[in-house]
Structure 1
Amino acid sequence: MIVQDVINHLEELAPLAYAEDFDNVGLLVGNKNTKVTGVLVTLDTLEAVVDEAISENCNLIVSFHPIIFKGLKKLTGKSYVERVVMKAIKHDIAIYSIHSALDNALQGVNDMICNQLELTNKRILIPQSETIKKLTTYVPKKEAETLRAALFKTGAGSIGNYNDCSFNVEGYGTFNGNENSNPTKGEKGSIHTEQETKITVTYAKHLESQVLQTLFKTHSYEEVAYEITTLENKNQNIGMGMVGELSKPISESDFLAQLKTKMNTKCVRHSAFLNKTIKKIAVLGGSGSFAIQAAKASGADAFITADLKYHDFFTAENSILLADIGHYESEQFTKNLLVAYLTKKITNFAIILSKTNTNPVKYF
């Protein structure tokens, strides 16, 4: 198994196409064709983590946060980032970051928080837009079934709980190939009329390369006519945050006590109590102040996130209970998620959960 094989598994779970534009995800250090000796999974890649990888004979570190976020102009060892990169290169250790791609995945960071809190009826809090594409193409009628089946096999035509979805219209196509053409239907230099089927399918944008390769490989025409449109529809399976429900309403104080225990945090900063019960809960791992309004609009009784500033708590405006559990604490179970996932996908060697606590925040 090479590094790229592990990456392929990870990107089935969280395609990088859905990472945020500001982010730096993917293979940050190393060669994708390197043979893997072991995989170490961590939340952050620090020097201690690289040392742990060396001792465990792991030459691939799968990290949630990217160690390289902004451009590096020098590698002199003056900063912790430079030292990590230098040590990783020196010991031929690859580093891969999944970050906001996993934030936006249906079974990612926020789903893990919901599971920790035993929430049900889960859905995405802020669905991504412009992630659904539509392909329209024209194929000889006799070949339509074959082409549809090939496109469906790539994952095209999947909508929610339905697969093999398409729209088809029959008509007539005309074309006239010039002296340089090599038509598979009709003859060059003559107008040809072909009974065709217009096929329309939607697909997730990360599948585009595979969908187009399949279209060109399966279609019989020398020149394939097709159109691609980006839809504005919200994608209910991709996006930031989640909303779920407790099995039964509980008091605000009981909710915070349970939150502190289940999320293994020493401190919960929260807005003023509203003197009402908590049942519907919005969550967003990491810095989530930008999602406060979305949490309120969802009808959530409480919003769990991290890195709220002083004035963010005022925006609760007596309509929602805001709970800041800490950045590390909100994402700490992410590495467990990745280890469990990769262990199912890769059985010929162990996937190791890093024992290094990378939380930079301490409590007194």
Structure 2
Amino acid sequence: MLIEEVIQHLEVLAPTAYAEDFDNVGLLVGNSNTTVTGILVTLDTLEIIVDEAIENNCNLIISFHPIVFKGIKKFNGTNYVERVVMKAIKHDIAIYAIHTALDNALQGVNDMICEQLGLINRRILIPQSGNIKKLITFAPTKEAEQLKTKLFKAGAGAIGNYTNCSFSSEGIGTFRASDKANPTLGEIGKTHYENETQIQVTYPKHLERIIIKALFENHSYEEVAYEITSLENNNQHIGMGMIGELVEPMEEVSFLKHIKETFKTGCVRHSELLDKPIKKVAVLGGSGSFAIKNAQRAGADIFITADLKYHQFYEAEKRLILADIGHYESEQYTKNLIVSYLRKKISNFAIILSDKNTNPIQYL
């Protein structure tokens, strides 16, 4: 199996098209045409992780956080980023980062947090907008159903829990072929009138190349007429954070202790307690202060995240509890998620869960 084939599996779980603009995801080091000998999955790529990959004969590291985030102008080994990249290249080890692509995935980082807490009725906290597209095309009416079927098979027409969604309308199309054309219908130099069906389907933007390929391969016209537009609709299956509910409400302190135990954190920093039971829980792995208002609007009793600053705790406004459980702690189960997913997809070589703790923060 090539690295590219592993990447294709990861793209199904967490398409890089949905990563945040500021992020650096994908294959950061290495050649995608390299044959895989083994895969090591980690939260962070440090020198000890590269050493672990060498020891286990793994030439592909899948890391949640990208080791290269900003541009590197020199490779002198003067900092840990340069040393990691240099050692990986020296030992022909590729590094793939998934980061906010997995943050935004429906079954990604935040779903894993919800799973650990036993939350039900989960949904995306901040649905992403602008990643749904619409294709409009025109086909001879007698071919329209077959073309729609091919587009559906390529992934078009899926809306939430529904598939094969489309809208069609019929009319008369006209065209005149020039002497350089090779028309499948009509005659050169004469205006042709054809009973046509207009087909409209939506699709997620990461499938655009596949959708257009299916359109051209299954359309009979020499020149295919089509339009693509980007929709501003929120995608309820892609986005940051999640919100869910406890099966049974819990008292505040008891729930905070439950969080501390579940995520094995040195401490839970939290805002003022409100003396009311916890039922609705919002979560966002990593630095999530930007989502405080979203958690409030969603009616959360508590918002679990990390990297909150002093003054941001005031933003709780006695409307919910803010709980900072630590950056590493909030994302620690992510590598388990990736390993579990890949082991279901790939069984012919080793997929190893790194046993190294890469948390840079220690507690006394």
The two structures share one fold, judged by TM-score above 0.5: yes
Q: Which letter maps to 1:93?
A: I
Name 1:340's counterpart in structure 2: 340
Q: Which letter maps to 2:25?
A: V
Same amino acid, percent of matched pairs: 69
How big is the shift at 1:349?
Answer: 1.3
* Aligned residue runs from structure 1 range 49-198, under 5 A: 49-198=49-198
Q: TM-score, normalised by structure 1?
A: 0.99
Does the residue aligned with 1:193 lie in a helix, a strand or coil?
A: strand
Distance (Å, rounded) in 2 between the aligned partners of 1:154 and 1:179: 34
Q: Which letter maps to 1:111?
A: D
Name 2:252's counterpart in structure 1: 252
Name 1:30's counterpart in structure 2: 30
How big is the shift at 1:16?
Answer: 0.4
Does the residue aligned with 1:198 lie in a helix, a strand or coil?
A: strand
Unaligned runs of 5+ in 2: none
Name 2:287's counterpart in structure 1: 287
Does the residue aligned with 2:239 lie in a helix, a strand or coil?
A: strand
Does the residue aligned with 2:246 lie in a helix, a strand or coil?
A: strand
Find runs of 4+ consecutive structure 1 residues off by over 2 angstroms.
none
Unaligned runs of 5+ in 1: none
Does the residue aligned with 1:343 lie in a helix, a strand or coil?
A: helix
Distance (Å, rounded) in 2 between the aligned partners of 1:188 and 1:307: 68
Does the residue aligned with 1:216 lie in a helix, a strand or coil?
A: helix
Name 2:8's counterpart in structure 1: 8
How big is the shift at 1:80?
Answer: 0.2
How big is the shift at 1:50?
Answer: 0.1
Q: TM-score, normalised by structure 2?
A: 0.99
Does the residue aligned with 1:178 lie in a helix, a strand or coil?
A: coil
- What RMSD over aligned residues (CA atoms) do the two structures have, in Å? 0.5
How big is the shift at 1:177?
Answer: 1.3
Question: 1:49-76: CA deviations, max 9, x gaps?
Answer: 0000000000000000000000010000
Question: 1:270-316: CA deviations, max 9, x gaps?
Answer: 00001111000000000000000000000000000000000100000
Distance (Å, rounded) in 1 between the aligned partners of 2:350 and 2:105: 24
Q: Which letter maps to 1:218?
A: N
Distance (Å, rounded) in 2 between the aligned partners of 1:126 and 1:71: 29
* Aligned residue runs from structure 1 range 215-234, under 5 A: 215-234=215-234
How big is the shift at 1:188?
Answer: 1.3
Name 2:300's counterpart in structure 1: 300
Distance (Å, rounded) in 1 between the aligned partners of 2:274 and 2:236: 30
Alignment of 1:43 with 2:43, yes or no, is: yes
Question: 1:14-55: CA deviations, max 9, x gaps?
Answer: 000000000000000000000000000000000000000000
Distance (Å, rounded) in 1 between the aligned partners of 2:269 and 2:258: 14
Q: Which letter maps to 2:44?
A: D
Distance (Å, rounded) in 1 between the aligned partners of 2:263 and 2:187: 70
Question: 1:127-181: CA deviations, max 9, x gaps?
Answer: 0001111100000011111100100001100011111111010111000111211
Distance (Å, rounded) in 2 between the aligned partners of 1:164 and 1:55: 48
Q: Which letter maps to 1:348?
A: N
